[in-house]
Structure 1
Amino acid sequence: MREKIAGLARRWQSAYRSTSIQMILSASFTAVAVLGMVFMGLTLFLRFSATSNAQQSENSQRVLAQVNLNLDSYLRSMMRVSDAAYYHVIKDLDLAEEDPANQLELLYESNRDSLVSIALFSQEGRLLAASPMGVLKNSVSPERESWFTAATERIENLHFSTPHVQNLFDDPDYRYRWVVSLSRYTELTWDGSIQGGVLLVDMSFAGIEQICKDVDLSASGGYLYLTDDAGELIYHPRQQLIYAGLLEENNRAAAAYTDGTHTETFNGEHRQVTVKTVGYTGWKLVSVVPAEELLDNYGQLMLFFLFIVLFSVFLLIFVNLRLSEWITAPVKKLDRAVKELEAGVQQVDFDVGGPYEVEHLSHSIRSMVSTMRHLMADIVQQEAEKRRSELDVLQSQINPHFLYNTLDSVVWMTENGRTEEATVMLTSLARLFRISLSRGSNIIPIADELEHARNYLTIQKMRYKNKFSAVIEAEDGVEKLYTIKLIVQPILENAIYHGMAYADGDGEIRISARREGDDVVIDVTDNGPGMPEEVVERLLDPDAPRANTNSKGSGIGLRNVHQRIQLSFGRRYGLTIHSEPDAGTRVQIRLPALEKVPDQGKEGKP
């Protein structure tokens, strides 16, 4: 898998490098514009969908509100019948002396379009009065019915039952009427004493069914149903199929929903469900709109959106091609000018015009070419200076006066019989020459450089008749590192000529080498008369006039060592001189810590 991805990435990079800037700009502009249009279109589409869903929700809520209002009116009319029967008929009668049947019949006759029956029962379930039918079935025990127990257990409320077949009375017509029972607890007067009872008003379910059937949600493919607070169906347009087990409804879950709009998935179908609670009863009005019906309304919008996108893409491709050609023409001209420069043409025209950025780029390239030519000239000059510095170093490595004086001292010692001292001086001189040559290598171990300094000091101490002492120290491991050769001896030469020539046996020169992180520091310290600050500043100044190289203490040796180190390792390395009159001088050499010889053994930055 990773190899396939890497292969695709390589092919993409290859195609990108071989594609013109005009094509890249055109494709980029078109892709960005199309993505922008798609994003805006999807945003508008989603916004439209959300608005459509919200409108459908508001429509369902309005429908449910209207149905709720109609049901509330219907239920209130039944409650008024119950109140009239109780407060205007039953409550004022002594049932031991008067029969309320006639008055209940009158009440029934005035509301017979919505009533099936009115009945009054004692607390034991005995029928006291009823209209229009007054004979109970032998198999019926009213006190065991749910509407009866609900009224006696919660005497302060009115109780509505779920739809059921009226099965209390013998019906001469043998009709089965679907009713919703409204029951309540009543106080009955019997022979001056108060007893409990139950008033039953059976409402025709056809009235409720008609209210719910009148709702039209067919435009959105939806329907409405009614449940009690426990989720039992009171009305459903396909109620018979549900009772027969041929269809299912999510009525139990819907009864637990709060009023408002919800989304649900039932039997794999996404639906928008709106719930409204019917007052006094706890019943739930539920409207259901399938999500597929909502999506059907978006088809035409999607077609229109696709047409707009395709048309815009063709238009954008044409416009972007023309625009990218106008932008890239100066860039192509600048590219041709750069290729001419690569071919070696001396006079190249970089005035390409075009947008500000391209014109600025052409000016920058012209300025860069001019700067490069000046830099090349400077590099040539610097190389010449470097070669001259190297020649100066070679000239200052072995001062002719030092060699002559050493040989004169050897001859004088030999003539006076001091052959042992002459031998030591000649041996030190030979070792000095051997390390100076180093088989042509310019990079030597620090141990050899310190040995070279030790031989040089041996010769000078004998020439100056031990007017000074010398100490050479090095930390463990430093002598194994590498340095360019002959950087300590010129510093010792200056220390001897300036500080030790007039010493009276108390002169001291100390050489110490140590490592500081990634650097090596070599300090050459003497206790001579020191130098003023202006002399110190002039010693390493490359622009200072050069004195006679054959004169003692001219400073050319220090300056050459400083330049050689910086040419080899960079500006952060070289010499630092600390000196004060009558306080001595300390010259510090800073080098990189080289643990091996650089490539080819030549000077250069490691």
Structure 2
Amino acid sequence: MDKLPRWKDYLLKTKLFLAFSAASLFIVALTCLIFYHRNVSDFRTQTVALSDTITRQYSRTFELYVQDIEKLSVSIIGDPVIQQSLIDHYKSTDDVEQNQIELQVNNRLFTHLQPRPQLQSIYIFSLDDFAYYVSKANGPKTSFNLQDESWYADRDAVVRNKFLLLPVAEEETGGGRKAQVISFVRNINRIPFREITAYMKININVNIFKNMFVNSDSNEVERNMRVFIATDDGSIVYDGRSELTGRMDAGLAMSAFRQPGRSGDLVWQGRHYLYTLEKSTYTKWNTVILIPNEFLLSKQKKAQYILLLVGMLAMLLIAAVSYLLSHQITLPLRSMMTKMARVELGDLSQRMTVEGRDEIGRLSRICNNMLDSITRLISEVYESKLAEKSAQLSALQAQINPHFLYNTLNIMKSISRIRGIEEVAEMSESLAELFQYSMKNLQHPVPLRDELDHIRNYMNIQQHRFSNRFELFMAVPDELLDASVLKLTIQPLVENAVIHGLGKVRAGGCIAIRASRRGPSLIVEVSDNGAGMDGNRLHELRYALRHPGRPDDRREEAHGIGLRNIGQRIQLLYGEDCGIELAGNPGGGLTVRLVFPYRRHDLEEGAKNDEYLPRRG
């Protein structure tokens, strides 16, 4: 099975078409995706905002109704007839008198009950287990004393909260019919005293919610939402669809609303809903509106279809434009390829057609200039080859001359010793060893002892030249003689000290070489007591050593260039932590300090040789 072609194997036309199409389609897809999510997010946000507004409106409407019932209860409590009848109730022991009191209280209660169509009944419970009762539907009395009431055990909450709202219960309305009611319960205090004389319960038909919560059906959200009034423990006080009113096991306990805030998502009865919640601090009940996710998804699908259609049209348009553009770009390139193929076969007379000033036109002119240059350079190729051979001969000659000079010095040394001229023989021997040491492996590290021997040979020659004007002092511990240093880095410093530091000294000159360890580093110092440097020159030279890539005419002196070369050689081999430092001596002169990593030369050479040995698994 053949492998698929790699990207670089495709034609430029295909690459351009694929690249333009992919980039454009990615932008279109990303734009559609962002627009889709933004549209969905905006619709969800608007739905939540509308639902939250309706929820707060419904909650506030119910609060106002309960406030109206509270005002009714205050009117009943403040009714002088009822107040006096309760006083007489506790004083009376005669049944006939008690019947008159009951008739009188019931008449007053019916007066308050009659104008309000949604009130079902009113109870007044005395503390001695007697109940006064009136009902609009002539239903029978179902509660006869406080002990029958479920809320009586929590009567302290009635006092604490001024009133209690009880969830849905059923009440007989006569003829075997029942009505669902919610109850408003509060205590009756004796006026002007504060002691409790009785408790009052007002039963309200739940159909009151149908009149309060009338959906306008003016938009799709209101047509699809579901409204509940629920207690904290999940009892359904009112269901807008009249399916769950009075149910306690509907699964809408407040634990279902786990998200902070007044809106979120929940799963109820196996379906996903978006909810908004408003808890009334006055009634202690919750108004909940649920909006099914199917409704939200239906809106999202409409947006999906529109974006999909727009995206497909955009993709087709982009594909057509990409194809035409790639064809237009590659057409002149194919013409150039045809002519360059002829040039490849040796026809240097071919020239590209220059049309326009765009990139293709510029490339055509460059190709024509290149062909002109090739034609011109062919005539110069023989001269170039002759120059190359001449350079090779010069290089060979440059290699022969040092060996020739080294051999000549050895012959001079032998003749001088035969004829008894020992000084000339000694100088010839030192100079020959200098050449031998300098001719090979310049970039290879050597033991410190070899570099010191090379310095001694150099100083032997300089002593004959300068007689006893200066002396060499070495303070190098024996354990550091095998330390590894870069070849020909210390001797140039001694040479600088001789020429520039002690060149004008007539007597008493001294050059000191010291070596020491400082942590993982080897420090080699070359000091002299010569002329030294003034502060400005020392500052310039230090700057040149720190910035080797920034030449300055003021610093282009021989020993400055030499120091920079030594510093660059050390840093190239050992890294930026090593190099060269300068310091002025308090008594005059200059100290040059070289910093190497401390390594034993024999161990370093062994590690290098191990690289070429066969390794065992």
TM-score range, shorter chain: 0.5 to 0.7
Structure 1 145/362 Cα, relative in aligned 2: closer, same or farther at 3 Å? farther
Match of 1:386 in 2: 395
Match of 1:198 in 2: 199
Structure 2 residue corresponding to 1:20, chosen from 11, 17, 21: 11
Whether 2:410 is the aligned partner of 1:410: answer: no
How far off its partner does 1:124 sit?
2.8
Does the Cα contact within 8 Å between 2:416 and 2:425 map onto a contact in 1? no
In structure 1, how many angstroms separate the alpha carbons of the residues matched to 2:243 and 2:150?
23
Does the Cα contact within 8 Å between 1:104 and 1:131 map onto a contact in 2? no
TM-score scaled by length of structure 2: 0.58
Match of 1:535 in 2: none
Structure 1 457/361 Cα, relative in aligned 2: closer, same or farther at 3 Å? farther
Structure 1 residue corresponding to 2:227, chosen from 208, 224, 228: 224
How far off its partner does 1:150 sit?
5.3
Whether 2:164 is the aligned partner of 1:159: answer: yes
Does the Cα contact within 8 Å between 2:85 and 2:105 map onto a contact in 1? no
Whether 2:91 is the aligned partner of 1:82: answer: no
In structure 1, how many angstroms separate the alpha carbons of the residues matched to 2:84 and 2:187?
16
Structure 1 343/197 Cα, relative in aligned 2: closer, same or farther at 3 Å? same
Does the Cα contact within 8 Å between 1:101 and 1:131 map onto a contact in 2? no
Structure 1 383/125 Cα, relative in aligned 2: closer, same or farther at 3 Å? farther
Whether 2:101 is the aligned partner of 1:109: answer: no
Whether 2:61 is the aligned partner of 1:57: answer: no
Other structure's SS at 1:85 match: helix
In structure 2, how many angstroms separate the alpha carbons of the residues matched to 1:450 and 1:276?
95
Structure 1 residue corresponding to 2:311, chosen from 292, 297, 309: 309
Structure 1 residues 241-296: Cα deviation after superposition (integer angstroms, max 9, x where no partner): 69889x84333336788773222344664321011345732221111112232011
How far off its partner does 1:48 sit?
0.7
Match of 2:554 in 1: none
Larger Rg: 1
Other structure's SS at 2:114 match: helix
Structure 1 199/141 Cα, relative in aligned 2: closer, same or farther at 3 Å? closer
Q: Which amino acid aligns with 2:208?
A: G
How far off its partner does 1:453 sit?
11
Whether 2:242 is the aligned partner of 1:233: answer: no
Structure 1 154/513 Cα, relative in aligned 2: closer, same or farther at 3 Å? closer
Does the Cα contact within 8 Å between 1:350 and 1:363 map onto a contact in 2? no
Does the Cα contact within 8 Å between 1:350 and 1:366 map onto a contact in 2? no
Unaligned runs of 5+ in 2: 89-99, 531-561, 574-598, 607-617
How far off its partner does 1:452 sit?
11
Structure 1 residues 332-362: Cα deviation after superposition (integer angstroms, max 9, x where no partner): 7788898889888888968977645994898
Match of 2:612 in 1: none
Structure 1 residues 302-356: Cα deviation after superposition (integer angstroms, max 9, x where no partner): 1221222222222222222333344556777788898889888888968977645
Structure 1 367/397 Cα, relative in aligned 2: closer, same or farther at 3 Å? farther
In structure 1, how many angstroms separate the alpha carbons of the residues matched to 2:402 and 2:435?
11
In structure 2, how many angstroms separate the alpha carbons of the residues matched to 1:72 and 1:450?
105
Structure 1 219/395 Cα, relative in aligned 2: closer, same or farther at 3 Å? same
Match of 1:417 in 2: none
Match of 2:131 in 1: 127
Q: Which amino acid aligns with 1:120?
A: I
How far off its partner does 1:365 sit?
12
Structure 2 matches for 1:80-479, cutoff 5 A?
A: 80-88=71-79, 90=81, 93-95=84-86, 96=88, 99-111=104-116, 113-128=117-132, 130-131=134-135, 136=141, 140-148=144-152, 153-155=157-159, 157-166=162-171, 173-188=175-190, 196-209=197-210, 211-212=212-213, 221-236=224-239, 248-253=250-255, 260-266=262-268, 269-278=271-280, 280-327=282-329, 355=358, 359=362, 382-394=391-403, 396-399=405-408, 403=411, 407=415, 410=418
Does the Cα contact within 8 Å between 2:238 and 2:244 map onto a contact in 1? no
Other structure's SS at 2:263 match: strand
Does the Cα contact within 8 Å between 1:25 and 1:324 map onto a contact in 2? yes
Does the Cα contact within 8 Å between 2:21 and 2:318 map onto a contact in 1? yes
How far off its partner does 1:47 sit?
1.0
Structure 1 141/127 Cα, relative in aligned 2: closer, same or farther at 3 Å? closer
Other structure's SS at 1:274 match: strand
Whether 2:31 is the aligned partner of 1:31: answer: no
In structure 2, how many angstroms separate the alpha carbons of the residues matched to 1:258 and 1:409?
107
Structure 1 349/301 Cα, relative in aligned 2: closer, same or farther at 3 Å? same
Does the Cα contact within 8 Å between 2:434 and 2:457 map onto a contact in 1? no
Q: Which amino acid aligns with 2:238?
A: Y
Q: Which amino acid aligns with 1:233?
A: I
Does the Cα contact within 8 Å between 1:187 and 1:194 map onto a contact in 2? yes
In structure 2, how many angstroms separate the alpha carbons of the residues matched to 1:473 and 1:351?
77
In structure 1, how many angstroms separate the alpha carbons of the residues matched to 2:156 and 2:516?
106
Q: Which amino acid aligns with 1:42?
A: L
Does the Cα contact within 8 Å between 1:222 and 1:288 map onto a contact in 2? yes
Does the Cα contact within 8 Å between 1:185 and 1:199 map onto a contact in 2? yes
In structure 2, how many angstroms separate the alpha carbons of the residues matched to 1:218 and 1:264?
18
Q: Which amino acid aligns with 2:323?
A: L
Does the Cα contact within 8 Å between 2:158 and 2:185 map onto a contact in 1? no
In structure 2, how many angstroms separate the alpha carbons of the residues matched to 1:258 and 1:410?
111
Other structure's SS at 1:110 match: coil
Does the Cα contact within 8 Å between 1:258 and 1:275 map onto a contact in 2? no
How far off its partner does 1:165 sit?
1.4
Structure 1 298/131 Cα, relative in aligned 2: closer, same or farther at 3 Å? closer
In structure 1, how many angstroms separate the alpha carbons of the residues matched to 2:431 and 2:512?
17
Q: Which amino acid aligns with 1:176?
A: K
Other structure's SS at 2:6 match: helix
Whether 2:37 is the aligned partner of 1:46: answer: yes
How far off its partner does 1:16 sit?
2.1
Structure 1 residues 9-63: Cα deviation after superposition (integer angstroms, max 9, x where no partner): xx89x71221234433332222222111111111111111111112222332343
How far off its partner does 1:94 sit?
4.5
Unaligned runs of 5+ in 1: 1-10, 414-420, 500-505, 528-561, 574-592, 598-606
Other structure's SS at 1:121 match: strand
In structure 1, how many angstroms separate the alpha carbons of the residues matched to 2:233 and 2:82?
33
Indicate the RMSD between aligned Cα atoms, in angstroms. 6.7
Question: How many residue pairs were aligned?
Answer: 510
Does the Cα contact within 8 Å between 1:473 and 1:512 map onto a contact in 2? yes
Q: Which amino acid aligns with 2:322?
A: N
Does the Cα contact within 8 Å between 1:118 and 1:131 map onto a contact in 2? yes
How far off its partner does 1:164 sit?
0.2
Does the Cα contact within 8 Å between 1:429 and 1:455 map onto a contact in 2? no
Other structure's SS at 2:319 match: helix
Does the Cα contact within 8 Å between 2:187 and 2:198 map onto a contact in 1? yes
Match of 2:594 in 1: none
Match of 1:8 in 2: none
In structure 1, how many angstroms separate the alpha carbons of the residues matched to 2:283 and 2:197?
23
Percent sequence identity is: 15
Other structure's SS at 2:275 match: strand
